Structure 1
Amino acid sequence: MAGSAKLLPIHEIALKCGIENEYLIPHGKYVAKVDLSLIDANKNKPKGKLVLVTAITPTPLGEGKTVNTIGLSEGLNYIGKKAIACIRQPSLGPVFGVKGGAAGGGQAEVLPMETLNLHLTGDIHAITAAHDLASAALDARLYHEERLGEEFTAQTGLERLNIDKNRIIWKRVIDHNDRALKNITVGVGGGLNGVERKDGFEITAASELMAILALANDLQDMRQRVGKIILAYNTDGDVITAEDLEVAGAIAVLLKNAINPNLMQTVENTPVLIHAGPFANIAHGNSSVIADRVALPLADYVITEAGFGSDMGMEKFFNIKYRQSGIAPSCVVLVATVRSLKSNSGKYNIKPGQPIPKEISESNVELLELGAANLAWHINNAKSYGMPVIVAINRFPHDSDEELAFLQQYALKHGAFACEVSEVFTKGGKGAEELSHHIVNACEQTSKVKLPYQDSDKLIDKIQCMAKKYGANRANLSPQALNDINDIEKLKLDHLPLCIAKTPMSISANPNLKNVPTNFDIDISHLALSAGAGFIRVYAGNIMTMPGLGTNPAYRHIDIDEQGNIIGLS
Structure 2
Amino acid sequence: MDTETKKVKSDIEIANDAYIKPITEIAAELDISDNEIELYGKYKAKLSLDILNRLDQSEDGKLILVTAINPTKAGEGKTTVTVGLADAFTALGEKAMIAMREPSLGPVMGIKGGAAGGGYSQVLPMTEINLHFNGDIHAITAANNTLAALIDNHLHQGNHLCIDPRKIVWKRVVDINDRALRNVVVGLGGPMQGIPREDGFDITVASEIMAVVCLAQDLDDMKERLSRMVVAWTYNDEPVTVQDLGVEGALALLLKDAIKPNIVQTIAHTPALIHGGPFANIAHGCNSAIATRTALKLADYVVTEAGFGADLGAEKFLNIKSRMAGLKPDAVVIVATIRALKMHGGVDKNELGTEDIGALKKGIENLKKHGETISSFGLPFVIALNRFVTDTHLELEVFKGLMEQENIPYALTEVWEKGGAGGTALAESIKQIIDEKENHYAPLYELTHSIEDKITIIAKKVYGAEGVDFTPQARKKLEKFKEQGWDSLPVCMAKTQYSLSDNPNALGRPSGFTITIRDLKPSIGAGFIVALTGDIMTMPGLPKHPAALNMDVTEDGKAIGLF
Q: Which range, TM-score by smaller chain?
A: over 0.9
Quote the Cα distance in structure 2 between the aligned partners of 1:424 and 1:17.
Answer: 24
Q: Which moved more, 1:510-519 or 1:164-173?
A: 510-519
The residue that corresponds to 1:135 in the other structure is 148
The residue that corresponds to 1:457 in the other structure is 449
Partner amino acid for 2:421? K
Quote the Cα distance in structure 1 between the aligned partners of 2:347 and 2:385.
Answer: 22
Partner amino acid for 2:496? T
8 A contact 1:83–1:299 mirrored in 2: yes
1:491 counterpart (466, 474, 484): 484
The residue that corresponds to 1:534 in the other structure is 527
Partner amino acid for 1:272? A
Quote the Cα distance in structure 2 between the aligned partners of 1:5 and 1:474.
Answer: 51
Query: Aligned-pair distance for 1:405?
Result: 2.3
8 A contact 1:376–1:411 mirrored in 2: no
Partner amino acid for 1:230? V
For residues 95-133 of structure 1, give each alpha carbon's deviation from its aligned partner in whole angstroms, at most 9, with x where no partner exists.
Answer: 110111110011100111001001111000000000000
Secondary structure in structure 2 of the residue aligned to 1:70 = helix
Aligned pairs for 1:16-95 within 5 A: 16-60=29-73, 62-95=75-108
8 A contact 1:94–1:101 mirrored in 2: yes
**Superposition RMSD on alpha carbons, in Å?**
1.1
Quote the Cα distance in structure 2 between the aligned partners of 1:560 and 1:395.
Answer: 32
Quote the Cα distance in structure 1 between the aligned partners of 2:73 and 2:284.
Answer: 19
Q: Which moved more, 1:10-19 or 1:269-278?
A: 10-19
Query: Aligned-pair distance for 1:25?
Result: 0.3
The residue that corresponds to 2:8 in the other structure is none
Query: Aligned-pair distance for 1:2?
Result: 2.1
Aligned pairs for 1:211-226 within 5 A: 211-226=211-226
Secondary structure in structure 2 of the residue aligned to 1:100 = coil
2:465 counterpart (462, 466, 472): 472
1:430 counterpart (421, 430, 442): 421
8 A contact 2:184–2:199 mirrored in 1: yes
For residues 315-347 of structure 1, give each alpha carbon's deviation from its aligned partner in whole angstroms, at most 9, with x where no partner exists.
Answer: 000111011111011000000011111111135
TM-score when normalising by structure 1: 0.95
Partner amino acid for 1:414? E
For residues 407-465 of structure 1, give each alpha carbon's deviation from its aligned partner in whole angstroms, at most 9, with x where no partner exists.
Answer: 2332343342x211110001011001111111111222330213221110122222222
8 A contact 2:74–2:340 mirrored in 1: no
2:511 counterpart (518, 537, 541): 518
TM-score when normalising by structure 2: 0.96
For residues 208-229 of structure 1, give each alpha carbon's deviation from its aligned partner in whole angstroms, at most 9, with x where no partner exists.
Answer: 0001111110100000000000
Query: Aligned-pair distance for 1:4?
Result: 2.3
Query: Aligned-pair distance for 1:20?
Result: 2.1
Aligned pairs for 1:292-371 within 5 A: 292-348=292-348, 356-357=349-350, 359-371=351-363
Secondary structure in structure 1 of the residue aligned to 2:513 = coil
Distance 1:91 1:61, change over 3 A: farther
Matched, 1:561 2:554: yes
Quote the Cα distance in structure 1 between the aligned partners of 2:403 and 2:168.
Answer: 49
8 A contact 2:89–2:427 mirrored in 1: yes
Query: Aligned-pair distance for 1:395?
Result: 1.0
The residue that corresponds to 1:161 in the other structure is 161
Q: How many residues end up aligned between the 2 structures? A: 548
The residue that corresponds to 2:275 in the other structure is 275
For residues 482-537 of structure 1, give each alpha carbon's deviation from its aligned partner in whole angstroms, at most 9, with x where no partner exists.
Answer: 10000110010101011111111000111111111111111111111100000111
Quote the Cα distance in structure 1 between the aligned partners of 2:98 and 2:242.
Answer: 34
Partner amino acid for 1:271? P
Matched, 1:376 2:378: no
Quote the Cα distance in structure 2 between the aligned partners of 1:189 and 1:6.
Answer: 55
Query: Aligned-pair distance for 1:61?
Result: 6.0
Matched, 1:440 2:453: no
Partner amino acid for 1:362? T
Quote the Cα distance in structure 1 between the aligned partners of 2:191 and 2:524.
Answer: 33
8 A contact 1:363–1:403 mirrored in 2: yes
8 A contact 2:465–2:515 mirrored in 1: yes
Matched-pair identity in %: 46
Quote the Cα distance in structure 1 between the aligned partners of 2:329 and 2:353.
Answer: 34
The residue that corresponds to 2:7 in the other structure is none
8 A contact 2:230–2:242 mirrored in 1: yes
The residue that corresponds to 2:5 in the other structure is none
Secondary structure in structure 2 of the residue aligned to 1:332 = strand
8 A contact 1:49–1:300 mirrored in 2: yes
Aligned pairs for 1:92-103 within 5 A: 92-103=105-116
8 A contact 2:74–2:339 mirrored in 1: no
Partner amino acid for 1:363? E
Query: Aligned-pair distance for 1:247?
Result: 1.4
Matched, 1:547 2:550: no
Matched, 1:240 2:232: no
Quote the Cα distance in structure 1 between the aligned partners of 2:75 and 2:175.
Answer: 20
Quote the Cα distance in structure 2 between the aligned partners of 1:415 and 1:385.
Answer: 18
8 A contact 1:404–1:421 mirrored in 2: no
Quote the Cα distance in structure 1 between the aligned partners of 2:438 and 2:365.
Answer: 27
Gaps of 5+ in 1: 147-159, 349-355
Quote the Cα distance in structure 1 between the aligned partners of 2:385 and 2:485.
Answer: 45
Distance 1:194 1:60, change over 3 A: farther
Gaps of 5+ in 2: 1-13
Query: Aligned-pair distance for 1:190?
Result: 3.3
Quote the Cα distance in structure 2 between the aligned partners of 1:139 and 1:76.
Answer: 52
8 A contact 1:60–1:99 mirrored in 2: no
Partner amino acid for 1:76? F
Quote the Cα distance in structure 2 between the aligned partners of 1:564 and 1:99.
Answer: 22
8 A contact 1:74–1:428 mirrored in 2: yes
Quote the Cα distance in structure 1 between the aligned partners of 2:411 and 2:483.
Answer: 50
Quote the Cα distance in structure 1 between the aligned partners of 2:102 and 2:74.
Answer: 17
Matched, 1:120 2:145: no
The residue that corresponds to 1:151 in the other structure is none
Distance 1:442 1:459, change over 3 A: same
Query: Aligned-pair distance for 1:467?
Result: 1.7
8 A contact 1:379–1:415 mirrored in 2: no
The residue that corresponds to 1:6 in the other structure is 19
Quote the Cα distance in structure 1 between the aligned partners of 2:537 and 2:403.
Answer: 33
Query: Aligned-pair distance for 1:62?
Result: 4.0
8 A contact 2:113–2:548 mirrored in 1: no
The residue that corresponds to 2:209 in the other structure is 209
Quote the Cα distance in structure 1 between the aligned partners of 2:468 and 2:479.
Answer: 17
For residues 168-204 of structure 1, give each alpha carbon's deviation from its aligned partner in whole angstroms, at most 9, with x where no partner exists.
Answer: 0000000011111110000013300100000010000
